[in-house]
Structure 1
């Protein structure tokens, strides 16, 4: 930065009242007289840009106050670099500068999964402690060593170290050496997936329980219509009733199933 902090208070007498100057005039004045007082006024006038852009990154795993500070610093960078002679608005110039600083901060400090702040802080301390103990002990520190140094439990250290794995996402194409085998194993092969049979068993049990609430005729309608795929007319012929009666019974059966489903969800 070219900001000079050696300006004397007497220099301010040469600066006209800030309220009487437009943004462009203020930037031109700052170009000629890079006094921190002028820059502070520019920051004050345009701080809303940093606030608006900061709010776009709410609930992304980093506290708003931290993002706002980074955005404010980006605003100062933009003020220092802005040139009125280029002809564009300051907001158009400042926005990408501020967003760039925020994104850089996320790359350096962000967590791909939201982790409690206490664990994040402990994780940072553990990384520093490892290096310190490595030099003091002349060996790789154990969990017990780290816990004693930080005055916390071994479980807390393990929790923080495991959480540190989500600091950056891992690629599914990441490969591991599969000892004893000719082919390496990929990370995606180690990730479990839902067993389709679970849904099948749950649905089957639900149907059996719901069918216990039906009478014999309703069970026949359910079996023929939804398992045998018979038409309403075919079912009506079997039961020697009208098609309208079968249609009404279907609606009644569906309502009973809905009631049973609500019970299981409560």
Structure 2
């Protein structure tokens, strides 16, 4: 029932998923740096998408992207493939949490020397790179050696960066929309619509892999293309009763998958 191009896409997606699954298995066993770098490359798009979502809100995109990459690394290190859920569903809230924490903590309480502010930014970037290279959280000595600073200078900058400016929840930032600004109160703790879409998409993708071609087509036509059972029956040259019976079977499979997630 599916076209050749659809079959090719499904085959490619299946191969990609199997490759990622094997990489995660290998990484969980070896903690090999090269394997983790491959996983980062394959999932960096998640960090990019979520960074763009929070752009133009008073903080430079590059800074948000760096924070998102840290969240991605944390997610890769903590992900347990044996749990059964998709990595994107696990990584998204981790990355969003890091971004929101960065927004919440951004800003200096007192005026500090520019060299301290610049060094603080270098330290944050160094943490990301060293975490990948060392496969652990870098020490003060690691950061000092990497940046060619003394440990005292690193500690000074890190201590200074702990003092932040509290901001009013009424503060607004420019948004991408010409007629609407973003309020800080809406940013902190907002319900993330994109995460729900990723999670729902992962659920449907995983469930549809267990359906045959006819079941997939009926599900798509009924709930995505909004066709009636009579119309689908005509297209498939089967009875409306058969379509109804298959639809009920598909819905039952979906319910069972939901029950597994809720357990």
Could you state the TM-score of these two structures normalised by the residue count of structure 2?
Answer: 0.37
Could you state the TM-score of these two structures normalised by the residue count of structure 1?
Answer: 0.37
Larger radius of gyration: 1
Higher relative contact order (CA 8 A, sep 6+): 2
